[in-house]
Chain A
Amino acid sequence: MSNSKRKLSADEAMRMFRQMVRIRTFENNANQLYLSAKMPGLTHMYSGEEAVAVGICEALLPTDKITSTHRGHGHCVAKGADFKAMFCELLGKEEGYCRGKGGSMHIADQSNGNLGANAIVGGSMGIATGAALTSKLKKTGDVAVCFFGDGATAQGLMYEVMNMAALWNLPVIYACENNGYSEYTKTEEIAAGSITARAEAFGIESYQVDGQDVIAVNELSQKLVDRARKGEGPFFLELMTYRYHGHHVGDINREYYRAKDEEADWKENRDPIIRMRAWLVENGYATEEALDELHKEVTEDAENAVEYALNAPYPDVSEVDMHVYTDVKHVLA
């Protein structure tokens, strides 16, 4: 773990740990829902990348905006979302964040500044940049963080909006979660040259950071968020991370593109939760027992939320043509 220059308070440290545990626990439950055929469709697991979402979102205020991706549960939890409404959304239930209309790939939680997950790779880059334009024009001081994967660096939209963000000094941070794979293909096969150099070409200050080290991610994010708020943005982060599952939950036999040894190495030696747990104990922030208790609490919380969501009602079928337009109750009526 990085040797933070700034001493983390016990609250900050424990909160980051708890949020990472919450994401992992959420994903374990989501995976089980898929495997037991209780969840419609499929989903993309964030497990392994927790330090990225948590390190960044813990540097943000609830009014700051994020845009998320198809692998978005981690961002949603890290930005403050509630398990019940999230599981309800995954199961297509009325009490879900989007009344069951979005599902895993479109969860939005505007109350916490989450402008939504996006099922188009790179599709939200304009949205995040636009949110930053609003901040600049309305002088709200909000910062926007655009989460996307290494695969999205192959989309042209990224270059168009980074150009404008740099021209207009927008308070946006582009957070590239480089998990080494663009769906079923190694990143090195789809991305020529350096990823940070792409942003540097626009004059955007860029950093590569260990995405498995939540304290390092958080420390850098704090600095950049503060500077973005002062009008010194945009910034670009490449966070080196790893996804433990396949591209999606159904991508189980994946040795043709990724070796089991490699997966085991990341899980055993670079896991962000194991690393922070050891750090918390070593630095006297918590005892092993307290951390076990935290795990237990989060596990129970997730299990209760899953149970709640499984029993929650689906939306009434009359909702199918609601929310097409803001001003028409039933558009097909």
Chain B
Amino acid sequence: MRKITLSKAVNEALAEEMRHDESVIILGEDVAEAGTPFKVLSGLVEEFGTDRVIDTPISEPGFMGIGVGAAMTGMRPVVDLMFGDFIFLIMDQLCNQAAKTHYMSGGKLNVPLVLRTNMGATRRSAAQHSQSLHAIVAHIPGLKVAMPSSAYEAKGLLKTAIRDDNPVVIFEDKLMYQDSAEVPEEEYSIPFGEACVKREGTDITLIGTSSMVQVCEKAAEMLQAVGISAEVIDPRTIVPLDEKTLVESAKKTGRVIVVDEGHQSFGVTSEIASRINEKAFYHLDAPTTRMGAMDVPIPFSPALEDITVPTPERVFEQAKKLVSGELIDAA
């Protein structure tokens, strides 16, 4: 099968959906001729024109609000938020408006909007361009949250998001835009709420989101070399969450580490670990363990930044401890 980059996969998903449905538009900063700083959207304005690939001023709350209103009245906007950190600028429009409109109207109004943004540290971008803020969004009922772990997921999840009648936030890891993966030529989409078992195993379950799936897969390779069989699962969407697949795996292996790049406290790792403890407790041989980003603003210095996020080596060490019954190194 052909391999394409995550960036190309996103671009293809948008182009296909824009050809399929004229109400799909893109709104955001430097989305047209510039194609975004990451060049993810290059070529789209040439095909679809500036009426559908709309450059906005640097006014995140403004264009997010316009996206919400357009979505409520018949468009399917894909709002491009250049960095995930800027979510804090649009919280009212995202969480008070988009998320609640369907509910507050008793089901009469819909907001079929996609917010495409990114996440991920270790790009030496410091504290305001490196955060992974998906947990904050996932906390708000009414929003769906997708976290692609490769080009394949990025395309399939984005196509599902665009066809969804609810507001969906997609977090792409900005360090993965140039990573290639096998992506079919033919059209496909990935349903929300269906986790993917990336690797089967029997001794321990590693649940990873976004780029942490790769971290878990690398850790699983290292574990295999020392005789430990690790299962790796990618939830793909955290809202809705495929709890069943995660709990079943926990019951099978009896040990779970949840790895996510958001801050560890009050985050995705805590939520998933809680659900596993509640629903698989009597099958567990060790405490379900969280591995998130350190609870510090992301530092600039490479020497500091690299230790803030989970690495294959640290997941490997933690997994070995869990399997051997040693005291774990929990934060």
Q: Do A and B originate from a single complex?
A: yes
Which residues of A are in contact with B by a Cβ distance under 8 Å? 65, 67, 96-102, 106, 108, 110, 115-116, 118, 120, 123-135, 137-138, 142, 144, 156-157, 160-161, 163-164, 167, 322-328, 331
Separation of A98 and B106 alpha carbons in the complex (Å): 4
Query: How many whole Å from A11's CB to the nearest CB in chain B?
Result: 29
Q: Are A327 and B92 in contact (CB under 8 A)?
A: no
Separation of A302 and B68 alpha carbons in the complex (Å): 34
When C-beta atoms are compared, the residue in chain B nearest to A167 turns out to be B57
* B108: A residues at CB distance < 8 A: 97-98, 108, 110
Separation of A322 and B75 alpha carbons in the complex (Å): 24
Residue B331 at the chain A interface, CB threshold 8 Å: no
A164 and B70 in contact, given A323-B103, A325-B102 (Cβ under 8 angstroms): no
Q: Are B97 and A134 in contact (CB under 8 A)?
A: no
Contact of A161 among B52, B66, B97, B240 (CB under 8 A): B66
When C-beta atoms are compared, the residue in chain B nearest to A96 turns out to be B106
Q: Are B69 and A120 in contact (CB under 8 A)?
A: no
A324 and B104 in contact, given A108-B109, A123-B96, A134-B70 (Cβ under 8 angstroms): no
Interface residues contributed by chain B, number (CB under 8 Å): 44
* A100: B residues at CB distance < 8 A: 106
Shortest 4 CB-CB contacts between residues of A and residues of B: A126-B65, A130-B69, A160-B62, A99-B106
Known: A106-B105, A133-B70, A163-B59. 5 other contacts (CB 8 A): A134-B75, A137-B70, A144-B69, A164-B63, A327-B165
Q: Are A115 and B72 in contact (CB under 8 A)?
A: yes
Contact of B66 among A67, A102, A133 (CB under 8 A): A133
When C-beta atoms are compared, the residue in chain A nearest to B142 turns out to be A324
Q: Are B166 and A138 in contact (CB under 8 A)?
A: no
Residue B51 at the chain A interface, CB threshold 8 Å: yes
Residue of A120, A142, A164, A167 with most partner-chain B CB within 10 A: A164
A325 and B142 in contact, given A123-B92, A133-B70 (Cβ under 8 angstroms): yes
Query: How many whole Å from A270's CB to the nearest CB in chain B?
Result: 34
Q: Are B69 and A127 in contact (CB under 8 A)?
A: yes
When C-beta atoms are compared, the residue in chain B nearest to A108 turns out to be B105
Separation of A102 and B96 alpha carbons in the complex (Å): 13
Separation of A138 and B52 alpha carbons in the complex (Å): 11
A323 and B68 in contact, given A110-B108, A130-B73, A156-B61 (Cβ under 8 angstroms): no
A133 and B105 in contact, given A128-B69, A160-B59, A164-B57 (Cβ under 8 angstroms): no
When C-beta atoms are compared, the residue in chain B nearest to A119 turns out to be B96
Separation of A323 and B107 alpha carbons in the complex (Å): 5
Residue B205 at the chain A interface, CB threshold 8 Å: no
A115 and B65 in contact, given A102-B104, A126-B97 (Cβ under 8 angstroms): no
A327 and B164 in contact, given A98-B105, A99-B107, A101-B104 (Cβ under 8 angstroms): yes
A126 and B107 in contact, given A65-B73, A327-B164 (Cβ under 8 angstroms): no
Query: How many whole Å from A61's CB to the nearest CB in chain B?
Result: 14
* A135: B residues at CB distance < 8 A: 73
